[in-house]
Amino acid sequence: MPLSIGIDIGGTNLRAARISETGEILKRVSEKSAPYPELVLGRIADMVRLLDTPDVKAIGVGVPGRVDARRGAVLSGGYVNLASVALAQRLEDMTGKPVIIDNDCNMALAAEMALGAGRGHGNIVMFTIGTGIGGAVAQDRRITRGSATAGQLGHITVDVNGEVCACGRRGCVETTSSGTALGRHIARAGLGADISVDQLFARDAAGDTTAHGILDGWARPLRAAIDTAVAVLAPDLVLLGGGLGRAAHAALDRAPALAPWYQCHVEPAQLGDDAGVIGAGLQALAEPSAQSSRARRAVLVNGIPASGKSTVSRGIADRMGWPLLALDTIKNPFLEVLGGGDRLFNRTLGRASYQAIWSVVGEAPAGTTVVVDAWFGFQPREILEDHLRKAGVEQTVEIWCHAPGEVLAERYGARLDQRPAGHPGAAYIPELIELAKRAEPLRRGPLFDVDTTKPIDFDAITAWLRTVMANGA
């Protein structure tokens, strides 16, 4: 079973754990954080040595601040600024294993979507309340990155005349509603630094107006930031995570949403401080760039015409972030420009489009995973094998899409007027029904069966893909 090491870098603590492919924590270690990059890197290296085993295939690191995950670069940080350290490269050099890095809140949200409060939700906004405030956004269950570092929700402005933030601006919600900010609220109220947030809630419940004022001053700016995020992103759910996530959720009871337009369900995250290491570990196993093999990989979404494979392909590509190459996507523009043709021409163009797909794959960077949407039975098996060999594809998995012939006939007939001239017309439907009776999957590598007459369980498909890809099947 492939394992990973997930690391969560916080302003107060450094956490690391050995993670199974299902997200189970098998062993954990922790160290105190520090403001000095080299000291942090040294402590991370020590934790990795304690956790590493031959079964560990990759390492994932959640980093506070602005991270360009695609390039593996830390751009800037707040309480722990690792921008001066080539973190991923140096860990790879130390361990000999692939390392991915991402914003720490992105890692936590990935874990919550897989195992926690985000299951079943497509569009999520998450604030992590700790030493600072992290943020992450998922749309259609994919982390939103923008040009590189989208989701910095801790830097939503809630007071233009407020305190200077580590980012250089004034009045970010991190300056009012983080754990550090809560400490400032407590100090300014004249209470001792050793008072806990639980004690504040107990005093508030007993009628202590000082405790009430502290919690109110901590919660209201956070509510304003949440309302802003809801207005901009219209999520299904807002999650509050991090070490103070549950406390912040409880404090919001005294600060209802500020405007009727911007209502959204707010829940505490379920995985607590474990979310960061679990998410980092799962992402390390899932990301193509973190696989021990740098060969290209292909998800073959197979099925005869009208079997629903296009819907399945798009759903996989959207959720996994892998490029999608479809036979019709390449073929149809040529049919439109050339004005169609007879069935023989359509078949000839289909073979050329099939070859074009694998030529594109062969030019992709090493380690790329592609989703290929085609009816693979229209060409002899040896032609596919030749294309895969020339394209440098060493791993394939297959998604087999199917439905009864009568269903396929109805689907095909319903879209006849939507297809460019050159595709077979209504006369093809009886042939399609017969084809459905004898069509078979390739059975080249692991196989996932999808009956497209039923609701498509994309969570099950993507979980299966992560598992089989991590196993190198």
Q: What domains are defined for the chain?
A: 1-108+272-290 (3.30.420.40), 117-270 (3.30.420.40), 293-470 (3.40.50.300)
Closest CA to 222 of 281, 171, 261, 186: 171
Residue 270 Cα to chain centre, angstroms: 17
Reported as a single tens digit per residue, the pLDDT across 136-182 is 999 999 999 888 889 999 999 999 999 999 889 999 999 999 999 99
Q: Look-up: residue for tokens 């050099």?
A: 93
The answer, yes or no, to whether residue 471 has pLDDT greater than 80, is no
Reported as a single tens digit per residue, the pLDDT across 14-73 is 999 999 988 999 999 999 998 888 999 999 999 999 999 988 999 999 998 899 888 888
Strands, sheet with 124-129, edge to edge from the N-terminal-most edge strand? 142-143, 133-139, 124-129, 237-241, 266-268
Reported as a single tens digit per residue, the pLDDT across 118-138 is 998 999 999 999 989 999 999
Write down the pLDDT at residue 84: 85
The two three-digit tokens of residue 14, written as one number: 């450094």
The answer, yes or no, to whether residue 262 has pLDDT greater than 50, is yes
Q: Taking residues 328-352, report their average pLDDT.
A: 82
Closest CA to 282 of 94, 111, 93, 48: 111
Q: Is there a contact between 255 and 289 (Cβ–Cβ < 8 Å)?
A: no
CB atoms within 10 A of CB 336: 12
Write down the pLDDT at residue 292: 42
Euclidean distance between the first and the last CA atom of the chain, given in angstroms as a whole number: 12
Write down the pLDDT at residue 378: 85
DSSP codes, 231-287 = HHH--SEEEEESTTHHHHHHHGGGS--SSGGG---EEE-SSGGGHHHHHHHHHHHH-
The two three-digit tokens of residue 136, written as one number: 């992450």
Write down the pLDDT at residue 293: 42
Question: Of all residues in the chain, what percent carry a pLDDT higher than 70?
Answer: 96
Q: Taking residues 405-424, report their average pLDDT.
A: 84
Write down the pLDDT at residue 45: 93
What's this model's pTM, rounded to 2 decimal places? 0.63
Residues in Cβ contact with 59 at an 8 Å cutoff, skipping those fewer than 6 apart: 4, 5, 6, 7, 48, 91, 95, 97, 98, 99, 100, 284, 290
